Structure 1
Amino acid sequence: MVSAALELSAQRFGEQGSPFLSPRRVAELLGVTMTELAGLIGVARNTLAAKAGARKVDAALSPVVRVLAMVGEMAGSEERAAIWFKHQPIPGWAGKTAYDLVREGKADKVLAYLEAVRSGVYA
């Protein structure tokens, strides 16, 4: 049931008429440029716009969208999720934010932290 709600939340990051996530929508929500988004997810800037790179971009954006969807569900809005993602240090990570950890390829650590918070471990 929780994964179904998360799935619906994550669908809002898709491009209409396409099965892939929209880099433009994610960049707009986070308030970053497409170049910054490319750096965050570890792909070349040109890959974000290329139709041939859609699967690669989708796979790279997926962890970011999962984090944003989970935080949005917990915080009550996408805007709050974006603020948290960029600015709230995560305990135990020396002041690093979710943005920092995702950029380092540690989105799984952020998701594990969020699952623990949702379960009441850190509450």
Structure 2
Amino acid sequence: MTTEVDRAHHERPFDRFVESLRKEGTSFISPKKFADAFDVQVQDLAADLRVHRNTINTHPASPRIQRFLRDTLKLLSAIDEIHNDMARSKSWVRNHPIPPLGHNTAWDLTLNGRADDVVAYLESISDREWMKLTADLLGVRFYSVPALK
């Protein structure tokens, strides 16, 4: 029998983050909590989603809103596999241009229904590219060392 202590011990910080976004008493993600977590004003989130700002409050379970929130969490889950620093991961999603995907950010690509392309990119990059991405997430400079002959 699994106890609450056992579950807490095996739960990733990412899982706690996702649970913190859930709207109390429902199965959907709270757009307000999501906006707060990403340091985005609710009206800016509404503008990004191309919905009226009141829609966030009056219809938070809207399929369009929930799809974006879930897809963004899917990206964070993939990034969590690289590095489990939620603040840096959220910053990467919002701000880091991805050259093979037209130098768009993961946020912009997700807004345009391309979250799966970002996940595919994360799953396909080489070890060297992973190291560069990890360095970016850590905020350090990546230096490539030539192979010895």
Residues 86 and 99 of structure 1 are in contact (CA less than 8 Å); yes or no, is this contact kept in structure 2? yes
Matches within 5 A, 1:35-114: 35-51=43-59, 53-56=60-63, 57-114=65-122
- What is the CA-CA distance between 1:39 and the residue it aligns to? 3.0
Residues 40 and 102 of structure 1 are in contact (CA less than 8 Å); yes or no, is this contact kept in structure 2? no
CA distance in 2, matches of 1:73, 1:58: 23
TM-score, structure 1 as length reference: 0.74
Unaligned ranges ≥5, structure 1: none
TM-score, structure 2 as length reference: 0.63
SS where residue 99 of structure 2 aligns?
A: coil
Larger relative helix fraction:
1
Residues 14 and 86 of structure 2 are in contact (CA less than 8 Å); yes or no, is this contact kept in structure 1? no
1:26: which partner in 2? 34
Number of aligned positions between the proteins: 118
Deviations 1:6-45 (A, max 9, x none): 9836334312322110112221122111122123334332
In the superposition, relative to structure 1, how do residues 94 and 115 fare at CA in structure 2: closer, same or farther (>3 Å)?
same
Which of 1 and 2 has greater Rg? Answer: 2
Matches within 5 A, 1:10-25: 10-25=18-33
Identity %: 29
Residues 20 and 58 of structure 1 are in contact (CA less than 8 Å); yes or no, is this contact kept in structure 2? yes
1:8: which partner in 2? 15
- What is the CA-CA distance between 1:110 and the residue it aligns to? 1.2
Unaligned ranges ≥5, structure 2: 1-10, 131-149
Amino acid aligned to 1:59: R
In the superposition, relative to structure 1, how do residues 62 and 121 fare at CA in structure 2: closer, same or farther (>3 Å)?
farther
CA distance in 2, matches of 1:121, 1:14: 36
CA distance in 1, matches of 2:116, 2:50: 15
- Higher RCO (C-alpha under 8 Å, 6+ residues apart): 1
- What is the CA-CA distance between 1:61 and the residue it aligns to? 1.6
